[in-house]
Amino acid sequence: MFPFQTACHEFVMRTSQFLIATQKETPADAEIVSHQLMLRAGLIRKIAAGLYTWLPLGLRVLRKVETIVREEMDRSGAQEVSMPVMQPAELWEESGRWEQYGPELLRIRDRHERDFCLGPTHEEVITALVRDEIRSYKQLPLNLYQVQTKVRDEIRPRFGVMRSREFIMKDAYSFHVSQASLQETYEVMFDTYSRIFTRLGLEFRPVIADTGSIGGSASHEFHVLADSGEDAIAFSDASDYAANVEMAEALAPGETRAQPTAAMARADTPGVTTIDALAGFLSVESTTCLKTLVVKGDQDGALVALVLRGDHQLNTVKAAHLEGVASPLQMAAEDEVRAALGAGFGSLGPVGLDIPVYVDRAAAVLADFNCGANEDGVHFTGVNWERDCPLPQVADLREVVEGDPSPDGKGKLRIRRGIEVGHIFQLGDKYSAAMGARVLDETGKNVTMTMGCYGIGVTRIVAAAIEQNHDDSGIIWPHSMAPFQVAIVPLNMRKSEAVADAAETLYAQLRELGVEVLMDDRDERPGVKFADMELVGIPHRVVIGDRALAEGNLEYKGRRDADAQLVPQDKVIELLREKLG
């Protein structure tokens, strides 16, 4: 037996040997809390903008995430592969993305002047592989995945590992002869993702997502809920409906339009150009006012007016999907509007408009409303649809708000912010068709495979978990992600033999049981050790001090507990077993 074998293992579980690179001060360039805490707790260090080294502690967390992802992917029937980070330009030319992708694709040239890129994703490589290897429908469906470093030359890397230039992603690609088979695998992946995020201990929502330009019939994003999230998501308080706010439908109001009671009148409103100002000027609620936005049409020089209730916001994704409206959405310039309609932004309204008009469902049921008169400094009051102006085509134009009825008819919508950590979608034949990935079907006919793809941002999960789980003292890891489960904190062990003995005994017992335990055997004062173990976020802490030990007790405290509890020395293992599940 080689003595150093055990010695090496022994040492890494002790803070005196393990690299604990904590910092008291918050680095000035870290904006969000996860970035600050990852630096302060010594998980990562920046090497350049958007590029980070993972320190031992951080890497342990990253590996935890990867392990769970692998276990669940394997369990789903997917098979792991590993594809190169560096990829030949030819493949990207085949799919057409060498031209399409833009500067985010980091292109490099080798010594023979041949073009390559560092892969931001791997559709091309996997499709080429499957095209060459798979001949028959009998070999399908096939789902291949990898856990691999991706490179994206982000315009502006930010928020630490949340949006970095190099990151680890689990990406999977499935291949099918039929849409039905794709749908089946898609559902399996949906369930697998739900299992993964549940096991990781994160509060998440699968969210209906925009399929964007890629098309396809289904796409879901998985979001970790956190106030700092980049996306707004709407979900029902009474069902599992959840959608990106971009996609969430605002249902038509239940009530029908009331009969007119007021006569239309002209009001001089000098300098009133906002809904708030108008409501204030007329002493009415903003919900009785209409706002009229003008966007560019899909024909050159064409304009389209969009009418919303004063308190509502335009949803640009919905608007861009309207017939006759340019996609992506472009707001018209004010001088263009003035030339066409005779008034500037603050004085527009649906009365007498001779361009195409859409009205939002909520605005369409208003009666006796107030709106601009298409004349600067003038508004109308007491306006009614079909009496004073025609009712335009009604559409869902607005952004949903908290309290709206859920589109599935169950409950009300709540809105929270989310961090996108997973995305599954049905790709169809975009890549398989472009790259000629075909198989023979049961009738002997050549058919193009249909594909699904499924991504998880592994590095981003670490940051998202911290955004969701932290307090003033530092990180609070979910059990499944914690770098160590238990911290043993002996106080003054250099002087107290009893403390040292108790600590070493407990340490040995936990090691024997296979518990990931970190022994803080540094000759530091208690405050330093407590602060470090809390900052680093270890879920369970056992403090061993002379005081309690004299009574035969140790102290246990969970990371989220307010206070420690005394535990008889011989009951500690039992307690920890219970806590660790």
Contact residues for RNA, defined by CB under 7 A: 22-29, 31, 46, 48-50, 102, 104, 155-159, 212-213, 230-231, 328, 423, 473-474, 491-492, 494-495, 523-528, 530-532, 534-535, 543-549, 555, 557, 564
Q: Name which of 383 and 548 has its Cβ closer to RNA.
A: 548
Q: Compute the distance between CA of residue 320 and CA of residue 301 in angstroms, rounded to an integer.
A: 16
User: Which tokens sit at 393?
Assistant: 């085509």
488 contacts: CB under 8 Å, gap ≥ 6: 503, 506, 507, 510, 517, 518, 519, 520, 542, 544
Q: Name which of 445 and 494 has its Cβ closer to RNA.
A: 494
> Taking Cα atoms as reference points, which of 474, 463, 418 lies closest to residue 160?
463
Q: Name which of 157 and 392 has its Cβ closer to RNA.
A: 157
**Beta carbon of residue 394, minimum distance to RNA (angstroms, whole number):** 27
SS3 351: coil
Burial level of 83, CB count in 10 A (0-12/13-18/19+)? middle
Q: Which residues of 92-103 are buried (b: 16+ CB within 10 A; e: fewer)?
A: bebbebbeebee
Q: Compute the distance between CA of residue 302 and CA of residue 454 in angstroms, rounded to an integer.
A: 40
Q: Which residues pair with 174 in a beta bridge?
A: 143, 452
**Beta carbon of residue 218, minimum distance to RNA (angstroms, whole number):** 14
Q: Compute the distance between CA of residue 237 and CA of residue 124 in angstroms, rounded to an integer.
A: 41
Q: Which residues pair with 486 in a beta bridge?
A: 517, 540
Q: Compute the distance between CA of residue 446 and CA of residue 440 in angstroms, rounded to an integer.
A: 5
> Taking Cα atoms as reference points, which of 564, 535, 539, 532 lies closest to residue 478?
539
Q: Which residues pair with 54 in a beta bridge?
A: 44
Count of positions (residues) in the chain:
581
**Beta carbon of residue 209, minimum distance to RNA (angstroms, whole number):** 8
Instruction: Confirm if 229 and 418 have CB atoms less than 8 A apart.
Output: yes
Q: Compute the distance between CA of residue 122 and CA of residue 150 in angstroms, rounded to an integer.
A: 9
Q: Compute the distance between CA of residue 348 and CA of residue 274 in angstroms, rounded to an integer.
A: 11
Instruction: Confirm if 35 and 162 have CB atoms less than 8 A apart.
Output: yes
Q: Name which of 473 and 480 has its Cβ closer to RNA.
A: 473
**Beta carbon of residue 330, minimum distance to RNA (angstroms, whole number):** 9
Burial level of 257, CB count in 10 A (0-12/13-18/19+)? middle
**Beta carbon of residue 529, minimum distance to RNA (angstroms, whole number):** 8
**Beta carbon of residue 559, minimum distance to RNA (angstroms, whole number):** 10
**Residue 462 φ then ψ, to 5°:** -60, -45
**Beta carbon of residue 329, minimum distance to RNA (angstroms, whole number):** 9
SS3 177: coil
**Beta carbon of residue 568, minimum distance to RNA (angstroms, whole number):** 14
**Beta carbon of residue 493, minimum distance to RNA (angstroms, whole number):** 8
Identify the residue whose tokens are 């330093």. 528
Q: Amino acid identity of 447? A: V
**Beta carbon of residue 167, minimum distance to RNA (angstroms, whole number):** 13
**Beta carbon of residue 572, minimum distance to RNA (angstroms, whole number):** 13
**Beta carbon of residue 543, minimum distance to RNA (angstroms, whole number):** 5
159-to-33, 80, 228, 468, 566 alpha-carbon distances in Å: 9, 30, 10, 15, 40
Q: Name which of 350 and 537 has its Cβ closer to RNA.
A: 537
**Beta carbon of residue 103, minimum distance to RNA (angstroms, whole number):** 8
Q: Compute the distance between CA of residue 84 and CA of residue 148 in angstroms, rounded to an integer.
A: 9
Q: Name which of 157 and 372 has its Cβ closer to RNA.
A: 157
**Beta carbon of residue 455, minimum distance to RNA (angstroms, whole number):** 9
Three-state SS annotation for 112-169: CCCEEEECCCCHHHHHHHHHHHCCEHHHCCEEEEEEEEEECCCCCCECHHHECCEEEE
